[in-house]
């Protein structure tokens, strides 16, 4: 039967193969062998009839010049041909909960290991174990969350493997601008310290009152407190920065202490406004706009110079205040 007689839809994760001389496909409806449980399907003898199966476009037989010795089948019947030694090197307990034995066991060489997750989720997990990026498949963010959440089920530790400078860590962090609270929740739930720190800088504009009880419970008390400390301490730091008015200059005929007191009151009014309306993500541009009129209305050049110098100092100090979480609660003291 010619390949053109079948319409085979294309997918992101799967190639469709028919029986050819290079690749022989196998039926997978054979009952498990006597020593196997329901997670296994014994690989039968090749048949002569044409059989169509779905195979991963990355983890296929002979991929990267490495002979596969283990076959994983996702819940949507996509086959992944992998090298067990690569998986064991990354995590020696991986998939042991499914296989009920280490992947190094020779009994696994003649079976298909059935994985109760979709091909999209399994693809993400395997890419992580192989140390390669799944970005080429553009998995949905929800699929990334599901993949990380499912790792402990397969005895894979997200905390040990999702670390800085790894492909999955980098790809997750790229979603922080669009999904900051979801990513921070994931990081807090799995104790992914570095990911939580770098994601928290994207939460400065997020209203903490919008965090639901379920989200707070999933984040966990420690990481929720750190996020709250980040917001509170930045606001406290801002108030402290704004508290000091411009330094007065020696009185002159044109500008005595009385005129300089007016400047101090004007600075205090703008500072009070910023402190009252402030947010943890207050921009330096907003500061310049707020304090700009104070300097523009001055006729004394010394006062004007003092105000401009103080505005620059305020901006520099505000920039130096931490914008992300740390292992320890943030300190409002300046401003490392």
Is residue 170 located within the same domain as residue 268? no
> What is the Cβ-side half-sphere exposure of residue 139, based on CA atoms within 13 angstroms?
24
Is residue 128 situated within a structural domain? yes
Q: Give the mean pLDDT of 184-199.
A: 96
Number of domains in the chain: 2
Domain that holds residue 244: 234-320
- What CATH number does the domain containing 50 carry? 3.30.710
Same domain membership, residue 129 and residue 8: yes
What are 143-148's contacts with CB under 8 Å, separation 24+? 143/118, 144/171, 144/172, 144/175, 145/182, 145/186, 146/117, 146/121, 147/117, 147/121, 148/172, 148/186, 148/190
Please indicate, yes or no, whether residues 169 and 259 belong to a single structural domain of this protein.
Answer: no
Share of the chain above pLDDT 70, in %: 81
Short-list 184, 131, 126, 134, CA closest to 151: 126
Q: Are 141 and 12 members of one domain?
A: yes
| pLDDT value at 141 more than 60 | yes
Check residue 32 and give its pLDDT. 40
CB 48 within 8 A of CB 88: no
Rounded to whole angstroms, what are the CA distances from 299 to 254, 294, 296, 304, 307? 9, 11, 8, 7, 12
336 within domain boundaries: no
Q: How far apart are CA 197 and CA 227, in angstroms?
A: 9
Does residue 228 lie within any of the structural domains? no
What is the C-alpha to C-alpha distance for residues 336 and 331, in angstroms, rounded to an integer?
9
Q: Are residues 167 and 241 in the same domain?
A: no
- Indicate the range of 28-42, 51-65, 154-168, 228-242 predicted with least confidence: 28-42
Confidence at 2, pLDDT banded by 50, 70, 90: very low
328 found inside a domain: no
Nearest-angstrom CA–CA distance, 294 and 211? 38
């Amino acid at each position: 039967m010619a390949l053109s007689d079948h319409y085979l839809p294309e997918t992101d994760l799967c190639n469709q193969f028919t029986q050819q001389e290079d690749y022989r496909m196998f039926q997978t409806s054979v009952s498990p062998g006597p020593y196997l449980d329901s997670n296994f399907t014994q690989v039968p003898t090749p048949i002569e009839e044409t059989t169509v199966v779905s195979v991963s476009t990355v983890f296929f037989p002979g991929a990267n010049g490495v002979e596969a010795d283990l076959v994983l089948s996702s819940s949507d019947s996509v086959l992944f041909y992998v090298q067990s030694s690569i998986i064991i090197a990354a995590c020696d307990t991986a998939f042991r909960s499914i296989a009920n034995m280490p992947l190094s066991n020779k009994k696994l060489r003649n079976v298909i290991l059935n994985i109760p997750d979709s091909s999209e989720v399994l693809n993400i997990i395997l890419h992580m174990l192989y140390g390669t990026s799944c970005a080429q498949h553009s998995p949905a963010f929800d699929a990334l969350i599901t993949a990380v959440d499912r790792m402990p089920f397969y005895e894979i530790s997200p905390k040990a493997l999702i670390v800085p400078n790894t492909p999955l860590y980098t790809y997750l962090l790229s979603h922080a601008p669009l999904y900051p609270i979801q990513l921070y929740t994931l990081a807090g739930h799995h104790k992914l310290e570095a990911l939580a720190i770098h994601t928290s800088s994207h939460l400065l504009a997020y209203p903490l009152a919008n965090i639901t009880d379920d989200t707070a419970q999933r984040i966990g008390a420690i990481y929720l407190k750190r996020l709250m400390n980040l917001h509170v301490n930045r606001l406290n730091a801002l108030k402290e920065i704004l508290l000091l008015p411009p330094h007065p200059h020696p009185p002159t005929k044109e500008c005595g202490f009385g005129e300089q007191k007016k400047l101090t009151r004007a600075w205090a009014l703008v500072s009070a406004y910023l402190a009252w309306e402030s947010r943890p993500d207050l921009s330096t541009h907003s500061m310049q706009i707020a304090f700009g009129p104070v300097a523009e209305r001055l006729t004394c050049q010394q006062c004007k110079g003092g105000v401009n110098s103080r505005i620059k100092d305020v901006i520099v100090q505000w920039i130096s205040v931490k914008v992300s979480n740390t292992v320890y609660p943030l300190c409002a003291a300046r401003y490392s």
